[in-house]
Chains A and B, each alone.
Chain A
Amino acid sequence: MASSETLTSQEYIKHHLTNLTFGNHPEHGLTFATTTEEAAEMGFWAFHVDTMFFSILLGGLFLWLFKKVADKATAGEPGGAQNFVEWIVDFVEDNVRGSFSGKNPLVAPLALTIFVWVFLMNLMDLIPVDLVPYLFQKVASLFGADPHHVFLKIVPTTDPNATFGMSLTVFFLVVYYSIKMKGVGGFVGELTLQPFGKWGLPANLMLEGINLLSKPVSLALRLFGNLYAGEMIFILIALMYGHSIVMSISGGMLQLGWAIFHILVITLQAFIFMVLTIVYLDMAHQRHH
């Protein structure tokens, strides 16, 4: 915790912002990274065990729940779980119908997956920052690991790998459908021949290229930034605990307030990611001018 003598505030924050990384370290071989520096030294071919574990766990939870309902889906009177699932499906379908004019059976399930998955991953932010890492450290120390070098970040969306993973997949879909709908020529033409006509080709390419590339970057960074900042504030609030009774109580109040406000943020971010994905895919399906 924050007040533990062995950790300064700086170390505490840094500890909380480091993923549990597994990879091939040039000196220690195939192992978990024990410091932030070691994680960096592992280079590209390492991966974040915590991000993968929690994102797949939550994605699996989402699909398991929805599949269970889908298997028993009836046109008659819906039960409690079906009602809840139908409510979300209806909401997503409404958004897709409102923003997406083309015909593509992929878009609605994609939007649903993004909305629920991102929401669940964001939801992990509301679990007290120290709870799961603390338990994990206890468990890890049973296996002989040094608890101060065991990292765990339970919110996958505070890992840019997760947000960029999604936004790049969306980006590839945008490019794929742009080419499929307009042909290679149409897609390249869209990138190079407007808005200034063929004589302004370099300027067009620069403008449209930035326009195109900004989509996945903004999509990923918006989600990442919001959740990272949110988590950071939780960590800073957590630093207040244990200094004095007054600080602890006000820290508790702050955490409660921020968590309540954060319910809005996590839902909103999941919604924005979904809507922008729909809009980008809609633009990919439309012919310009």
Chain B
Amino acid sequence: MNINLTLILQMIAFAAFVWFCMKFVWPPIVNALAERKTKIAEGLAAAERGHKEQELGAQRATTIMKEAKTKAADIVSQAQKRATEIIDEAKQDAREEGARLVHVAQAEVEQEANRAREELREKVATLAVAAAEKILEKEIDPAAHGAIVDSFAKQI
């Protein structure tokens, strides 16, 4: 337990160790620690940003979906309206066409009836003349009395 040269040698050794530690050991380790700290902070910030962006995206998606739904509903209602219109128009057209057809048919029927009446009248006249000839035989001169018979036939 003597104090001797060991004391000075120990001081030198200690100083050398501290110098070496300060020069080569401490800085790289502390730098690595600091660098990792920044990296972690950046990572956390990025995660936070990502989270916010995701929220925004979700919000945007909801808005777009709402808009799309409204648009779709509009389109459907418009289409329904258009369909009703088309049906109505078609009904109207059909009604008009029907009326026209009925009209034409009536006219034709009338024409036909007139023609038939005319024919009938002529036939009746002829028949009447024939009948009268038979009844009157020679008493009536078809030429002299034709006008009377015609007027008579016309009254039928």
| Binding partners A and B | yes
Please pick, from B15, B25, B30, B32, the residue contacting A67 in the complex, using a CB distance under 8 A: B25
A63 with B29, Cβ < 8 A, contacts A45-B4, A162-B10 known: no
Contact B2 A39 (CB under 8 A): yes
1/0 per residue, CB under 8 A from A, across B6-25: the answer is 11111101110110111011
What is the minimal beta-carbon distance from B24 to any residue of chain A, in angstroms?
A: 6
Residue B143 is within 8 A (CB to CB) of chain A in the complex: no
B1 at the interface (CB under 8 A from A): yes
The answer to whether A66 and B21 touch (CB under 8 A), given A86-B29, A89-B29, A164-B3, is: yes
- Pair A70/B18 contact, Cβ less than 8 Å: no
Chain A residues lying within 8 Å of B3, measured Cβ to Cβ, are: 44, 160-161, 164
Interface size class, chain B: 20 to 34
Stretch at the interface among B33-41, B56-64, B108-116: B33-41
Q: Does B6 contact A89, Cβ atoms closer than 8 Å?
A: no
What is the size, in residues, of chain A's interface with B at 8 Å between Cβ atoms? 53
Check A179 for interface membership: any CB of B closer than 8 A. Answer: no
Question: Is the beta-carbon distance between A70 and B29 smaller than 8 angstroms?
Answer: yes
Are A165 and B25 in contact (CB-based, < 8 A)?
A: no
B156 at the interface (CB under 8 A from A): no
Q: Can you list 10 A-B pairs with a CB-CB distance of less than 8 A?
A: A42-B2, A47-B5, A52-B9, A52-B10, A70-B25, A89-B29, A110-B22, A162-B6, A164-B10, A169-B18
Which A residues are within 8 Å of any B CB, using their own CB? Answer: 17, 19, 21, 23, 39-40, 42-48, 51-52, 55-56, 59, 62-63, 66-67, 69-71, 73-76, 78, 82, 85-86, 89-90, 93, 105-106, 108-110, 112-113, 117, 159-162, 164-166, 168-169
Not counting A86-B29, A89-B33, A166-B11, a sample of 8 additional A-B residue pairs whose C-beta atoms are within 8 angstroms of each other reads: A44-B4, A46-B4, A52-B6, A67-B25, A73-B31, A109-B25, A117-B17, A161-B10
List B residues at the A interface (Cβ < 8 Å): 1-11, 13-15, 17-18, 20-22, 24-33, 35-36, 39
